[in-house]
Structure 1
Protein backbone atom coordinates (compact mmCIF):
# COMPACT_ATOMS: atom_id res chain seq x y z
CA UNK A 1 0.00 0.00 0.00
CA UNK A 2 1.44 3.33 -1.12
CA UNK A 3 0.25 6.74 0.07
CA UNK A 4 1.15 9.62 -2.21
CA UNK A 5 0.01 12.85 -3.82
CA UNK A 6 -1.89 12.59 -7.09
CA UNK A 7 -4.18 14.23 -9.63
CA UNK A 8 -7.07 12.71 -11.54
CA UNK A 9 -6.50 12.91 -15.28
CA UNK A 10 -9.70 11.17 -16.37
CA UNK A 11 -12.40 8.90 -14.96
CA UNK A 12 -15.18 6.76 -16.35
CA UNK A 13 -17.81 4.36 -14.96
CA UNK A 14 -16.68 0.78 -14.58
CA UNK A 15 -18.82 -1.65 -12.65
CA UNK A 16 -21.70 -0.85 -10.34
CA UNK A 17 -20.69 1.93 -7.94
CA UNK A 18 -17.08 1.92 -9.23
CA UNK A 19 -15.02 4.29 -11.34
CA UNK A 20 -11.92 3.53 -13.39
CA UNK A 21 -9.52 6.42 -12.92
CA UNK A 22 -6.39 7.56 -14.75
CA UNK A 23 -4.05 9.22 -12.24
CA UNK A 24 -0.83 11.17 -12.33
CA UNK A 25 0.93 10.23 -9.09
CA UNK A 26 4.01 11.67 -7.44
CA UNK A 27 5.81 8.35 -6.94
CA UNK A 28 4.44 5.99 -9.60
CA UNK A 29 3.78 8.28 -12.56
CA UNK A 30 0.66 7.43 -14.54
CA UNK A 31 -1.51 4.82 -12.85
CA UNK A 32 -4.90 3.29 -13.63
CA UNK A 33 -6.94 2.57 -10.51
CA UNK A 34 -10.40 1.50 -9.39
CA UNK A 35 -12.33 3.35 -6.70
CA UNK A 36 -15.59 2.36 -5.03
CA UNK A 37 -17.77 5.47 -4.80
CA UNK A 38 -20.95 3.99 -3.34
CA UNK A 39 -24.57 4.45 -4.37
CA UNK A 40 -25.25 7.92 -3.02
CA UNK A 41 -25.23 10.86 -5.45
CA UNK A 42 -23.55 12.80 -2.63
CA UNK A 43 -20.70 10.30 -2.29
CA UNK A 44 -17.61 12.00 -0.85
CA UNK A 45 -15.29 9.85 -2.95
CA UNK A 46 -17.23 10.64 -6.11
CA UNK A 47 -16.84 14.33 -5.35
CA UNK A 48 -13.07 13.91 -5.05
CA UNK A 49 -12.64 12.12 -8.37
CA UNK A 50 -12.30 15.23 -10.48
CA UNK A 51 -9.46 16.80 -12.46
CA UNK A 52 -7.24 19.59 -11.10
CA UNK A 53 -7.91 18.78 -7.42
CA UNK A 54 -4.74 18.03 -5.39
CA UNK A 55 -5.22 14.66 -3.71
CA UNK A 56 -3.54 12.43 -1.15
CA UNK A 57 -4.46 8.81 -1.73
CA UNK A 58 -3.49 5.25 -0.95
CA UNK A 59 -3.09 2.66 -3.71
CA UNK A 60 -3.23 -1.08 -3.11
CA UNK A 61 -2.53 -4.03 -5.37
CA UNK A 62 0.18 -5.70 -7.43
CA UNK A 63 -1.41 -5.75 -10.90
CA UNK A 64 -1.64 -3.10 -13.59
CA UNK A 65 -4.89 -1.75 -12.14
CA UNK A 66 -4.59 -0.59 -8.52
CA UNK A 67 -7.31 -0.02 -5.94
CA UNK A 68 -7.79 3.36 -4.26
CA UNK A 69 -8.44 2.55 -0.61
CA UNK A 70 -8.14 6.03 0.89
CA UNK A 71 -8.48 9.44 -0.76
CA UNK A 72 -8.52 13.00 0.58
CA UNK A 73 -8.21 16.49 -0.89
CA UNK A 74 -5.12 18.32 0.36
CA UNK A 75 -5.93 21.71 -1.18
CA UNK A 76 -8.67 23.49 -3.08
CA UNK A 77 -9.20 22.65 -6.72
CA UNK A 78 -7.30 24.89 -9.13
CA UNK A 79 -9.56 27.67 -10.40
CA UNK A 80 -9.47 27.39 -14.18
CA UNK A 81 -11.72 29.11 -16.70
CA UNK A 82 -12.05 29.41 -20.46
CA UNK A 83 -8.75 28.87 -22.28
CA UNK A 84 -6.89 28.09 -19.06
CA UNK A 85 -9.35 25.25 -18.47
CA UNK A 86 -9.08 24.03 -22.07
CA UNK A 87 -5.29 24.13 -21.76
CA UNK A 88 -5.43 22.04 -18.59
CA UNK A 89 -7.52 19.39 -20.33
CA UNK A 90 -4.86 19.43 -23.05
CA UNK A 91 -2.19 18.66 -20.44
CA UNK A 92 -4.24 15.76 -19.10
CA UNK A 93 -4.84 14.27 -22.53
CA UNK A 94 -1.14 14.47 -23.40
CA UNK A 95 -0.25 12.61 -20.21
CA UNK A 96 -2.87 9.93 -20.81
CA UNK A 97 -1.84 9.40 -24.42
CA UNK A 98 1.95 9.59 -24.15
CA UNK A 99 3.07 8.43 -20.70
CA UNK A 100 3.82 4.78 -20.02
CA UNK A 101 2.20 3.51 -16.82
CA UNK A 102 4.06 2.81 -13.57
CA UNK A 103 7.19 4.81 -14.39
CA UNK A 104 8.08 7.41 -11.77
CA UNK A 105 8.32 10.97 -13.13
CA UNK A 106 8.57 13.28 -10.09
CA UNK A 107 9.97 16.22 -12.09
CA UNK A 108 7.09 16.04 -14.55
CA UNK A 109 4.65 15.82 -11.63
CA UNK A 110 6.13 19.04 -10.21
CA UNK A 111 5.98 20.73 -13.62
CA UNK A 112 2.33 19.71 -13.96
CA UNK A 113 1.51 21.36 -10.62
CA UNK A 114 3.50 24.45 -11.56
CA UNK A 115 1.68 24.72 -14.88
CA UNK A 116 -1.75 24.41 -13.25
CA UNK A 117 -0.72 27.08 -10.74
CA UNK A 118 0.37 29.45 -13.49
CA UNK A 119 -2.79 28.84 -15.53
CA UNK A 120 -5.02 29.40 -12.49
CA UNK A 121 -3.23 32.71 -11.89
CA UNK A 122 -4.04 33.77 -15.46
CA UNK A 123 -0.44 33.93 -16.60
CA UNK A 124 0.22 33.88 -20.34
CA UNK A 125 -0.90 30.48 -21.58
CA UNK A 126 1.43 29.76 -24.50
CA UNK A 127 4.74 29.91 -22.56
CA UNK A 128 3.34 27.65 -19.85
CA UNK A 129 2.18 25.05 -22.37
CA UNK A 130 5.53 25.07 -24.17
CA UNK A 131 7.47 24.58 -20.93
CA UNK A 132 5.22 21.69 -19.96
CA UNK A 133 5.57 20.11 -23.40
CA UNK A 134 9.35 20.36 -23.12
CA UNK A 135 9.26 18.69 -19.70
CA UNK A 136 7.06 15.90 -21.09
CA UNK A 137 9.35 15.32 -24.08
CA UNK A 138 12.36 15.19 -21.77
CA UNK A 139 10.56 12.57 -19.67
CA UNK A 140 10.03 10.59 -22.87
CA UNK A 141 13.73 10.90 -23.74
CA UNK A 142 13.15 13.29 -26.64
CA UNK A 143 14.86 16.53 -25.61
CA UNK A 144 16.02 18.88 -28.39
CA UNK A 145 19.63 19.37 -29.40
CA UNK A 146 19.80 23.03 -30.47
CA UNK A 147 23.54 23.02 -31.17
CA UNK A 148 23.13 22.84 -35.00
CA UNK A 149 21.22 26.15 -35.04
CA UNK A 150 24.29 27.86 -33.55
CA UNK A 151 26.86 26.02 -35.67
CA UNK A 152 25.53 26.31 -39.24
CA UNK A 153 25.60 29.52 -41.25
CA UNK A 154 22.12 29.23 -42.75
CA UNK A 155 18.88 31.09 -42.08
CA UNK A 156 16.45 28.18 -41.79
CA UNK A 157 16.27 24.62 -40.51
CA UNK A 158 14.06 21.60 -40.96
CA UNK A 159 13.27 19.45 -37.95
CA UNK A 160 13.36 15.77 -38.89
CA UNK A 161 12.31 13.06 -36.47
CA UNK A 162 15.24 11.02 -35.15
CA UNK A 163 17.68 13.42 -36.83
CA UNK A 164 16.93 16.75 -35.22
CA UNK A 165 17.59 20.15 -36.77
CA UNK A 166 18.90 19.94 -40.34
CA UNK A 167 20.13 23.09 -42.15
CA UNK A 168 18.27 24.25 -45.24
CA UNK A 169 20.60 25.34 -48.04
CA UNK A 170 19.60 27.37 -51.07
CA UNK A 171 16.71 29.82 -51.41
CA UNK A 172 15.00 30.91 -48.22
CA UNK A 173 11.85 28.81 -47.86
CA UNK A 174 8.53 30.05 -46.56
CA UNK A 175 7.80 29.45 -42.88
CA UNK A 176 5.96 26.18 -42.52
CA UNK A 177 5.33 23.42 -40.04
CA UNK A 178 8.57 21.79 -41.17
CA UNK A 179 10.88 24.78 -41.68
CA UNK A 180 11.97 27.14 -38.92
CA UNK A 181 13.81 30.44 -38.70
CA UNK A 182 17.30 30.19 -37.18
CA UNK A 183 16.91 33.33 -35.05
CA UNK A 184 13.64 32.01 -33.64
CA UNK A 185 15.20 28.66 -32.79
CA UNK A 186 18.13 30.34 -31.04
CA UNK A 187 15.66 32.29 -28.91
CA UNK A 188 13.76 29.09 -28.09
CA UNK A 189 17.02 27.44 -27.03
CA UNK A 190 17.30 30.05 -24.26
CA UNK A 191 14.49 28.45 -22.26
CA UNK A 192 14.64 30.91 -19.37
CA UNK A 193 13.60 33.68 -21.75
CA UNK A 194 10.45 31.90 -22.86
CA UNK A 195 8.39 33.03 -19.87
CA UNK A 196 9.21 36.65 -20.64
CA UNK A 197 6.08 38.38 -21.94
CA UNK A 198 8.25 40.43 -24.32
CA UNK A 199 9.13 37.38 -26.47
CA UNK A 200 8.18 38.28 -30.06
CA UNK A 201 4.97 36.72 -31.32
CA UNK A 202 6.77 35.13 -34.28
CA UNK A 203 9.12 33.28 -31.89
CA UNK A 204 6.18 31.97 -29.89
CA UNK A 205 4.49 30.86 -33.11
CA UNK A 206 7.61 29.03 -34.30
CA UNK A 207 7.84 27.27 -30.93
CA UNK A 208 4.19 26.23 -31.19
CA UNK A 209 4.70 24.82 -34.71
CA UNK A 210 7.82 22.93 -33.65
CA UNK A 211 6.16 21.35 -30.62
CA UNK A 212 3.04 20.46 -32.58
CA UNK A 213 5.11 18.69 -35.24
CA UNK A 214 6.94 16.58 -32.65
CA UNK A 215 3.85 15.81 -30.55
CA UNK A 216 1.74 14.92 -33.59
CA UNK A 217 4.40 12.44 -34.61
CA UNK A 218 4.19 10.80 -31.17
CA UNK A 219 0.40 10.73 -31.25
CA UNK A 220 0.21 9.07 -34.64
CA UNK A 221 -2.97 9.49 -36.66
CA UNK A 222 -5.32 10.01 -33.71
CA UNK A 223 -5.79 13.75 -32.99
CA UNK A 224 -6.27 15.22 -29.52
CA UNK A 225 -9.87 15.84 -28.52
CA UNK A 226 -8.84 18.75 -26.30
CA UNK A 227 -7.66 20.77 -29.31
CA UNK A 228 -11.26 20.83 -30.53
CA UNK A 229 -12.17 22.91 -27.47
CA UNK A 230 -10.01 25.77 -28.78
CA UNK A 231 -11.34 25.36 -32.33
CA UNK A 232 -14.95 25.49 -31.14
CA UNK A 233 -14.47 28.49 -28.84
CA UNK A 234 -15.98 31.62 -30.32
Structure 2
Protein backbone atom coordinates (compact mmCIF):
# COMPACT_ATOMS: atom_id res chain seq x y z
CA UNK A 1 0.00 0.00 0.00
CA UNK A 2 1.23 3.48 -0.89
CA UNK A 3 0.14 6.65 0.91
CA UNK A 4 0.71 9.85 -1.03
CA UNK A 5 -0.65 13.26 -1.97
CA UNK A 6 -2.94 13.43 -4.97
CA UNK A 7 -5.54 15.37 -6.94
CA UNK A 8 -8.62 14.03 -8.72
CA UNK A 9 -8.49 14.79 -12.45
CA UNK A 10 -11.78 13.15 -13.36
CA UNK A 11 -14.25 10.63 -11.94
CA UNK A 12 -17.19 8.67 -13.28
CA UNK A 13 -19.56 5.94 -12.01
CA UNK A 14 -18.26 2.41 -12.48
CA UNK A 15 -20.10 -0.37 -10.73
CA UNK A 16 -22.68 -0.20 -7.96
CA UNK A 17 -21.47 2.23 -5.28
CA UNK A 18 -18.08 2.58 -6.96
CA UNK A 19 -16.37 5.30 -8.95
CA UNK A 20 -13.49 5.07 -11.40
CA UNK A 21 -11.10 7.93 -10.71
CA UNK A 22 -8.24 9.43 -12.73
CA UNK A 23 -5.67 10.78 -10.28
CA UNK A 24 -2.51 12.83 -10.46
CA UNK A 25 -0.38 11.48 -7.63
CA UNK A 26 2.88 12.76 -6.20
CA UNK A 27 4.73 9.44 -6.36
CA UNK A 28 3.12 7.47 -9.19
CA UNK A 29 2.02 10.19 -11.63
CA UNK A 30 -1.30 9.48 -13.33
CA UNK A 31 -3.18 6.56 -11.82
CA UNK A 32 -6.63 5.17 -12.56
CA UNK A 33 -8.18 3.75 -9.40
CA UNK A 34 -11.44 2.44 -7.99
CA UNK A 35 -13.06 3.83 -4.88
CA UNK A 36 -16.07 2.53 -2.98
CA UNK A 37 -18.26 5.52 -2.13
CA UNK A 38 -21.27 3.77 -0.58
CA UNK A 39 -24.97 4.34 -1.12
CA UNK A 40 -25.49 7.51 0.89
CA UNK A 41 -25.64 10.85 -0.93
CA UNK A 42 -23.72 12.22 2.05
CA UNK A 43 -20.88 9.74 1.64
CA UNK A 44 -17.64 11.25 2.94
CA UNK A 45 -15.58 9.60 0.20
CA UNK A 46 -17.97 10.81 -2.48
CA UNK A 47 -17.57 14.34 -1.16
CA UNK A 48 -13.78 14.06 -1.33
CA UNK A 49 -13.56 12.66 -4.86
CA UNK A 50 -13.67 16.13 -6.43
CA UNK A 51 -11.23 18.00 -8.70
CA UNK A 52 -8.95 20.69 -7.27
CA UNK A 53 -9.10 19.39 -3.68
CA UNK A 54 -5.69 18.43 -2.18
CA UNK A 55 -5.89 14.84 -0.96
CA UNK A 56 -3.86 12.33 0.99
CA UNK A 57 -4.79 8.80 -0.01
CA UNK A 58 -3.72 5.19 0.12
CA UNK A 59 -3.58 3.03 -2.99
CA UNK A 60 -3.60 -0.74 -2.90
CA UNK A 61 -3.40 -3.49 -5.49
CA UNK A 62 -1.51 -4.60 -8.58
CA UNK A 63 -4.34 -5.32 -11.05
CA UNK A 64 -5.80 -3.26 -13.88
CA UNK A 65 -7.07 -0.67 -11.38
CA UNK A 66 -5.65 0.14 -7.98
CA UNK A 67 -8.00 0.58 -5.03
CA UNK A 68 -8.31 3.76 -2.99
CA UNK A 69 -8.62 2.36 0.53
CA UNK A 70 -8.20 5.58 2.50
CA UNK A 71 -8.66 9.20 1.48
CA UNK A 72 -8.55 12.48 3.41
CA UNK A 73 -8.42 16.13 2.45
CA UNK A 74 -5.24 17.98 3.44
CA UNK A 75 -6.36 21.46 2.51
CA UNK A 76 -9.20 23.54 1.19
CA UNK A 77 -10.40 23.15 -2.38
CA UNK A 78 -8.90 25.74 -4.73
CA UNK A 79 -11.37 28.55 -5.33
CA UNK A 80 -11.61 28.80 -9.11
CA UNK A 81 -14.15 30.77 -11.12
CA UNK A 82 -14.94 31.46 -14.77
CA UNK A 83 -11.83 31.35 -16.98
CA UNK A 84 -9.60 30.24 -14.12
CA UNK A 85 -11.90 27.26 -13.62
CA UNK A 86 -12.05 26.53 -17.36
CA UNK A 87 -8.23 26.69 -17.50
CA UNK A 88 -8.00 24.20 -14.63
CA UNK A 89 -10.30 21.78 -16.45
CA UNK A 90 -8.05 22.27 -19.49
CA UNK A 91 -4.87 21.23 -17.69
CA UNK A 92 -6.71 18.27 -16.13
CA UNK A 93 -7.78 17.08 -19.57
CA UNK A 94 -4.24 17.48 -20.91
CA UNK A 95 -2.91 15.25 -18.13
CA UNK A 96 -5.57 12.62 -18.73
CA UNK A 97 -4.97 12.57 -22.48
CA UNK A 98 -1.18 12.83 -22.62
CA UNK A 99 0.32 11.21 -19.51
CA UNK A 100 0.87 7.48 -19.48
CA UNK A 101 -0.15 5.48 -16.42
CA UNK A 102 2.17 5.40 -13.40
CA UNK A 103 4.95 7.55 -14.84
CA UNK A 104 6.74 9.30 -11.97
CA UNK A 105 6.45 13.08 -12.43
CA UNK A 106 7.06 14.84 -9.14
CA UNK A 107 8.14 18.12 -10.77
CA UNK A 108 4.98 18.17 -12.86
CA UNK A 109 2.93 17.47 -9.72
CA UNK A 110 4.54 20.51 -8.07
CA UNK A 111 3.90 22.64 -11.17
CA UNK A 112 0.27 21.53 -11.13
CA UNK A 113 -0.13 22.78 -7.56
CA UNK A 114 1.63 26.04 -8.41
CA UNK A 115 -0.63 26.58 -11.41
CA UNK A 116 -3.81 26.00 -9.39
CA UNK A 117 -2.51 28.37 -6.70
CA UNK A 118 -1.80 31.11 -9.24
CA UNK A 119 -5.16 30.68 -10.98
CA UNK A 120 -7.01 30.76 -7.65
CA UNK A 121 -5.24 34.04 -6.80
CA UNK A 122 -6.50 35.56 -10.03
CA UNK A 123 -3.08 35.90 -11.65
CA UNK A 124 -2.89 36.38 -15.42
CA UNK A 125 -3.99 33.13 -16.99
CA UNK A 126 -1.93 32.90 -20.21
CA UNK A 127 1.54 32.83 -18.58
CA UNK A 128 0.39 30.19 -16.08
CA UNK A 129 -0.93 27.93 -18.83
CA UNK A 130 2.25 28.31 -20.88
CA UNK A 131 4.39 27.40 -17.85
CA UNK A 132 2.29 24.32 -17.20
CA UNK A 133 2.32 23.28 -20.86
CA UNK A 134 6.11 23.60 -20.95
CA UNK A 135 6.43 21.49 -17.79
CA UNK A 136 4.16 18.83 -19.30
CA UNK A 137 6.14 18.73 -22.56
CA UNK A 138 9.39 18.37 -20.63
CA UNK A 139 7.85 15.49 -18.65
CA UNK A 140 6.97 13.84 -21.96
CA UNK A 141 10.58 14.19 -23.10
CA UNK A 142 9.94 17.12 -25.44
CA UNK A 143 11.59 20.52 -25.37
CA UNK A 144 12.16 23.43 -27.73
CA UNK A 145 15.59 24.12 -29.19
CA UNK A 146 15.53 27.85 -29.92
CA UNK A 147 19.09 27.91 -31.31
CA UNK A 148 17.97 28.25 -34.97
CA UNK A 149 15.95 31.41 -34.29
CA UNK A 150 19.17 33.17 -33.31
CA UNK A 151 21.33 31.70 -36.09
CA UNK A 152 19.25 32.41 -39.22
CA UNK A 153 18.59 35.89 -40.55
CA UNK A 154 14.94 35.37 -41.51
CA UNK A 155 11.73 36.96 -40.27
CA UNK A 156 9.71 33.79 -39.74
CA UNK A 157 10.03 30.09 -38.86
CA UNK A 158 7.91 26.99 -39.17
CA UNK A 159 7.82 24.47 -36.33
CA UNK A 160 7.92 20.90 -37.60
CA UNK A 161 7.64 17.91 -35.29
CA UNK A 162 10.94 16.01 -34.97
CA UNK A 163 12.77 18.79 -36.81
CA UNK A 164 12.08 21.79 -34.64
CA UNK A 165 12.24 25.37 -35.90
CA UNK A 166 12.82 25.56 -39.65
CA UNK A 167 13.61 28.94 -41.27
CA UNK A 168 11.20 30.35 -43.84
CA UNK A 169 13.23 31.84 -46.70
CA UNK A 170 10.30 32.72 -48.94
CA UNK A 171 8.91 36.24 -48.60
CA UNK A 172 5.45 34.85 -49.40
CA UNK A 173 5.13 31.38 -47.81
CA UNK A 174 2.08 29.33 -48.83
CA UNK A 175 1.05 28.46 -45.25
CA UNK A 176 1.77 31.79 -43.60
CA UNK A 177 -0.79 31.02 -40.88
CA UNK A 178 1.65 28.45 -39.50
CA UNK A 179 4.65 30.79 -39.51
CA UNK A 180 6.05 32.19 -36.27
CA UNK A 181 7.67 35.61 -36.00
CA UNK A 182 11.41 35.34 -35.28
CA UNK A 183 11.49 38.21 -32.78
CA UNK A 184 8.57 36.61 -30.94
CA UNK A 185 10.33 33.25 -30.77
CA UNK A 186 13.47 34.89 -29.44
CA UNK A 187 11.41 36.55 -26.70
CA UNK A 188 9.64 33.26 -25.90
CA UNK A 189 13.02 31.57 -25.44
CA UNK A 190 13.68 33.91 -22.51
CA UNK A 191 11.61 32.57 -19.64
CA UNK A 192 11.31 36.04 -18.11
CA UNK A 193 8.69 36.84 -20.75
CA UNK A 194 6.37 34.41 -18.97
CA UNK A 195 6.42 36.41 -15.76
CA UNK A 196 6.05 39.96 -17.04
CA UNK A 197 4.45 41.76 -19.95
CA UNK A 198 6.61 41.53 -23.03
CA UNK A 199 7.69 44.77 -24.65
CA UNK A 200 7.15 43.14 -28.06
CA UNK A 201 3.50 43.14 -29.09
CA UNK A 202 2.05 39.78 -30.06
CA UNK A 203 4.49 37.52 -28.18
CA UNK A 204 1.80 36.03 -25.93
CA UNK A 205 -0.42 35.20 -28.90
CA UNK A 206 2.47 33.63 -30.83
CA UNK A 207 3.35 31.51 -27.80
CA UNK A 208 -0.26 30.35 -27.54
CA UNK A 209 -0.35 29.36 -31.22
CA UNK A 210 2.97 27.52 -30.95
CA UNK A 211 1.87 25.50 -27.92
CA UNK A 212 -1.49 24.77 -29.50
CA UNK A 213 0.18 23.39 -32.64
CA UNK A 214 2.51 21.13 -30.66
CA UNK A 215 -0.20 19.91 -28.28
CA UNK A 216 -2.67 19.27 -31.11
CA UNK A 217 -0.07 17.08 -32.79
CA UNK A 218 0.42 15.11 -29.57
CA UNK A 219 -3.35 14.69 -29.28
CA UNK A 220 -3.56 13.37 -32.82
CA UNK A 221 -5.59 16.47 -33.68
CA UNK A 222 -8.45 15.15 -31.54
CA UNK A 223 -10.13 18.21 -29.97
CA UNK A 224 -10.14 18.92 -26.25
CA UNK A 225 -13.61 19.19 -24.71
CA UNK A 226 -12.37 21.76 -22.18
CA UNK A 227 -11.55 24.26 -24.92
CA UNK A 228 -15.26 24.51 -25.70
CA UNK A 229 -15.85 26.08 -22.27
CA UNK A 230 -13.97 29.22 -23.30
CA UNK A 231 -16.36 29.74 -26.20
CA UNK A 232 -19.46 29.77 -24.01
CA UNK A 233 -20.91 33.06 -22.84
CA UNK A 234 -20.48 33.73 -19.13
Shift of 1:175: 8.9
Q: Does 1:124 align with 2:124?
A: yes
Could you tell me how far apart the structure 2 residues matched to 1:19 and 1:177 are? Answer: 44
The alignment's C-alpha RMSD in Å is: 1.4
Q: Distance in 1 between matches of 2:72 and 2:184?
A: 45
> Does structure 1 retain, via aligned residues, the 8 Å contact 2:184–2:200?
no
Q: Answer yes or no: is the 8 Å Cα contact 1:9–1:21 preserved in 2.
A: yes
Can you give the 5+ residue segments of structure 2 that lack an aligned partner in the other structure?
Answer: none
Matched-pair contact (CA < 8 Å) for 1:157–1:181: yes
**Are the aligned partners of 1:12 and 1:20 in contact in 2 as well (CA < 8 Å)?**
yes
**What residue in structure 2 maps to residue 34 of structure 1?**
34
Q: Provide the TM-score with structure 2 as the length reference.
A: 0.97
- Secondary structure at the aligned position of 1:67 is classed as strand
Distance 1:200 1:121, change over 3 A: farther
Displacement, 1:193? Answer: 2.4
Work out the CA distance in 1 between the residues paired with 2:151 and 2:228: 39
Provide structure 1 residue ranges, at least 5 long, that are not aligned to the other structure: none
Match in the other structure for 1:167: 167
In structure 2, distance between residues paired with 1:42 and 1:65: 25
Match of 2:208 in 1: 208
Q: TM-score, normalised by structure 1?
A: 0.97
Shift of the alpha carbon at 1:173?
4.8
In structure 1, what is the equivalent of residue 110 of structure 2? Answer: 110
* Deviation readout 1:7-30 (Å, 9 max, x if unpaired): 000000001110000000000000
Match of 1:42, SS state, is coil
CA–CA separation in structure 2 for the residues paired with 1:10 and 1:31 = 11
- CA displacement 1:125-160 (0-9 Å, x = unmatched): 000000100000011111111110011111110000
1:100 matched residue in structure 2: 100
Q: How many residues align?
A: 234
**Distance between the aligned counterparts of 2:59 and 2:164, measured in 1?**
40
Question: Match of 2:178, SS?
Answer: coil
User: Using the alignment, how far apart are the partners of 2:127 and 2:174 within structure 1?
Assistant: 24
- 1:221, distance to aligned residue in structure 2 (A): 3.4
In structure 1, C-alpha distance between the alignment counterparts of 2:186 and 2:198, rounded to whole Å = 16
Post-superposition Cα deviations, 1:93-147, rounded to whole Å, max 9, x if no partner, equal 0000000001100000000000000000000000000010000001111111111
Structure 2 distance, partners of 1:130, 1:16, is 40
